[in-house]
Chains A and B, each alone.
Chain A
């Protein structure tokens, strides 16, 4: 007889010790969306596009904070930085100022570290790494946490970590691989603008996005 319903309320943790249900028999189980992250979209780029965008259909008041993971994003043009642009009008304009700082860490050759990036305080984008290699299956991997995107009373922020092959990478033994880390205070279209953000656009500083997997998650607050 198929198991169709399990009542867990009032059941002590120790009550189930050896039960096992085959994966194939679980068809409708779902964790309650009251904690953790909720997957909203995964976009895989396999042929060149100008950008990857998450729109106001996904970035809503359902979640205040969001997380994006990026795997093997590479541009069609070698040596270009990956950038994220923000919009508060679903992409009609990407004119949100950000204050930002980025540091680089050489993972292997010299263990050198230092400041990187030149986008400064008046940029309409946030730079995620630098000089990303365009070769297939290199590029850049990243996690980006967007904090308070939907709030309307205070500033928003983001924090990121990126690991990738720089454009002079030659492999494990000969090239330099980098970890970039950084943060940005997202101001708005003016110093007094606190409109909620509802659109994120990822693109390289020049040329198309040639490959990459971009996933968006909503972070459950309680």
Chain B
């Protein structure tokens, strides 16, 4: 594996190759802070879609209450990657 420093192409050391591979892996997975941020943003958007149901002149069904509670609880699970591949979002009631 090569890199270019100041315009000159040079072979990378084993340590530099390992560092690049570690950076790629970290970028793919993101830090836990970043992954949790992605999860919260997605959760908050889904909650906002049904916020109107919580207004005082609307009666929310138990199915929707369960759905919204499941969204609130979803941050109890730590995502393992930026794609949230280990997170299962609740299904909206029909």
Question: What is the interface of chain A, defined by CB distance below 8 A to chain B?
Answer: 41-43, 45, 48-55, 57-58, 81, 83, 85, 94, 118-123, 125, 203, 205-207
Q: Which 5 A-B pairs have the closest CB atoms?
A: A205-B27, A206-B24, A53-B5, A43-B7, A49-B2
Question: What is the interface of chain B, defined by CB distance below 8 A to chain A?
Answer: 1-7, 9, 12, 16-17, 19-20, 23-24, 27-28, 30-31, 33-34, 37-38, 82
Q: Which of A48, A49, A81 lies at the interface centre, i.e. has the most chain B CB atoms within 10 A of its CB? A: A49
In the complex, the answer to whether B38 meets A205 with C-beta atoms within 8 Å is no
**Bound CA–CA A94/B23 (angstroms):** 10
Residues in chain A near residue B27, CB distance under 8 A: 81, 83, 125, 205-206
**Bound CA–CA A205/B23 (angstroms):** 8
Residues in chain A near residue B37, CB distance under 8 A: 118, 120
In the complex, the answer to whether A205 meets B5 with C-beta atoms within 8 Å is no
- Residue from the list A94, A119, A207 in contact with B24, Cβ < 8 A: A207
Which residue of chain A is the closest to B2 with respect to CB atoms?
Answer: A49
In the complex, the answer to whether B6 meets A118 with C-beta atoms within 8 Å is no
Q: List 17 A-B contacts (CB under 8 A).
A: A41-B6, A43-B6, A48-B2, A49-B2, A50-B1, A50-B3, A51-B3, A51-B4, A52-B4, A54-B5, A57-B6, A81-B27, A118-B30, A120-B33, A122-B31, A123-B34, A125-B23
Residues in chain B near residue A81, CB distance under 8 A: 27
| Minimum CB–CB distance for A80 against chain B, Å | 8
Given contacts A49-B1, A50-B1, A123-B34, 8 further A-B contacts (CB under 8 A): A49-B2, A50-B20, A52-B3, A52-B4, A55-B6, A118-B37, A120-B37, A125-B23
In the complex, the answer to whether B6 meets A58 with C-beta atoms within 8 Å is yes
Q: Which of A45, A50, A83, A85 lies at the interface centre, i.e. has the most chain B CB atoms within 10 A of its CB? A: A50
